[in-house]
Structure 1
Amino acid sequence: MSSSRRPVEPVFLPRRYGRLAPLSERKSSEGYFGLGVHDTALDEFVQFFGCSKGTFPLAYLGLPIGFNVNTPRNWKPLCDQFRKKFSGWKASLLSIGERYTLLKSVLGSLGIYHLSLFKCLETVFKELEGLRAKCFWGSSDSNKKMHWISWDIALNALENGGIEISSLRALNLGLIFKWVWRFTSCPNTF
């Protein structure tokens, strides 16, 4: 198989992409990262321009870069986002229809960036689905509400006795398989 691809060229990435100031005016705390570059070349670049060298792991657009995604603690930012959107007092002030809408629109799409790139861990799924269930039933840590049906049944389609709340596990697998389909059907896209 002959490869017509060019070798990876060195790339120097600023930690903040939005700044337009020249390198000499940038703050030294921003950090530059080298991809496909030897550490000595990155050190020379950093010393020449008077900026700092960034270290992995880091977060870009909320996504972990350089993290081990097979560790539950690295999914903590996503779980914290869910917790921040859901709080017991908010859920108690909303009707069940409003909680259903909140669940489908906000809590169903909150982690879409994470879930489209990484296969989520089972423990993280359980925690996120638990938070979504608490929100839907209007429960909080101090105030338990009665659950009229099992959460697994609630995730089903109407024909199967559910209320069509989409499963995060199904969303994660669908988004991952979308990438698989894209790579197999359009191999020259990337």
Structure 2
Amino acid sequence: MTGLMREAISKNCFRSFLVGNNKVSVDVLQYVDDTIFFGKASMENVKVVKVILRSFEMVFGLRINFSKSQFGAIGQPEDWCISVAAYLNCALLQLPFCYLGIPIGVNPKRKVVWEPIIRKFKAKLSKWNQRSISMTGRITLINVVLTTLPLFYLSFFRAPSAVINRLSAIQRQFLWGGNREGKKIAWISWSQCCASRDMGGLGIKDIKILNNALLIKWKWMMFHQPDHLWNRILVSKYKGWRGLD
């Protein structure tokens, strides 16, 4: 698919989407079997995309699942978007939408964005609350849930204080055995629970610190991956990490 797009661009058949002052060209992004085409909102580009998809089907003997495909354009009339979606035989993309598990086009400062994570977090721990689990087992389960459920969100968004407090409260309740019978006594402070075992703590991950560490990692990678597309886009659009502060 990428090779077909490069050929189309080399023959000036497709006009890519240009980002920022440096005019970074973005035309196709792929992850496993997910593909996103970017380009100028024109019927000529739409026709080229359809030719690329059809050529892919003929060459590899595979079928594009158009029922799971969507088309969207920013700043274009709705009637035009609907007609293009019908031409491509796919659905019309609505903002916000979810891609690879991350909501796109949302305000991460709103608590409603984090509600799915909170529900999953609470449901998981409430199931385990019904069982007799040792303190060591509870600590292990808390860290496992924290790693598997909200980690992806925390890697891309700064969690609001209300969300962090809510997740921490669920953790505390589960750790000390709180359930439908009522609250249980917390024998040490939560900050001490989140301290490392070398410092006399329980080694539970602090959500706020983890969130900050995951976000800071992006700044670290900007210095070590200057040629990567995502880095060049940020530099062109926001002048690097300084423009993101």
**Normalising by structure 1, what TM-score?**
0.79
For residue 86 of structure 1, report the CA deviation from its aligned partner.
0.8
Asked if the contact 2:194/2:201 (under 8 Å) is kept, the reply is yes
C-alpha distance in structure 2 between counterparts of 1:167 and 1:133, whole Å: 11
1:51 aligns with 2:86: no
Q: Aligned-residue CA RMSD in angstroms?
A: 2.8
C-alpha distance in structure 1 between counterparts of 2:211 and 2:112, whole Å: 18
Q: String of CA shifts for 1:19-38, please: whole Å, max 9, x gaps.
A: x6446xx43xx451336784
1:8-157 mapped onto 2 (5 Å cutoff): 9-10=38-39, 21-22=63-64, 26-27=66-67, 30=68, 32-34=70-72, 38-39=76-77, 42-87=81-126, 90=129, 92-157=131-196
Q: String of CA shifts for 1:37-84, please: whole Å, max 9, x gaps.
A: 845764443121333212011223332111111111111011111011
C-alpha distance in structure 2 between counterparts of 1:91 and 1:170, whole Å: 29
Asked if the contact 2:69/2:91 (under 8 Å) is kept, the reply is yes
1:164 aligns with 2:217: no
SS at match of 1:87: helix
1:176 aligns with 2:215: yes
User: 1:89/1:129 Cα in 2 relative to 1: closer, same or farther (>3 Å)?
Assistant: same
For residue 183 of structure 1, report the CA deviation from its aligned partner.
1.6
> Which consecutive residues of structure 2, in runs of 5 or more, have no partner in the other structure?
1-20, 28-37, 41-45, 50-61, 230-245
For residue 144 of structure 1, report the CA deviation from its aligned partner.
1.7
User: 1:186/1:41 Cα in 2 relative to 1: closer, same or farther (>3 Å)?
Assistant: farther
For residue 173 of structure 1, report the CA deviation from its aligned partner.
0.5
Asked if the contact 1:88/1:140 (under 8 Å) is kept, the reply is no
For residue 159 of structure 1, report the CA deviation from its aligned partner.
4.3
C-alpha distance in structure 2 between counterparts of 1:104 and 1:95, whole Å: 14
Q: Which has the larger radius of gyration?
A: 2
Asked if the contact 1:88/1:135 (under 8 Å) is kept, the reply is no
> Which consecutive residues of structure 1, in runs of 5 or more, have no partner in the other structure?
14-19
Count of aligned pairs: 179
**Normalising by structure 2, what TM-score?**
0.63
SS at match of 1:69: coil
C-alpha distance in structure 2 between counterparts of 1:167 and 1:106, whole Å: 13
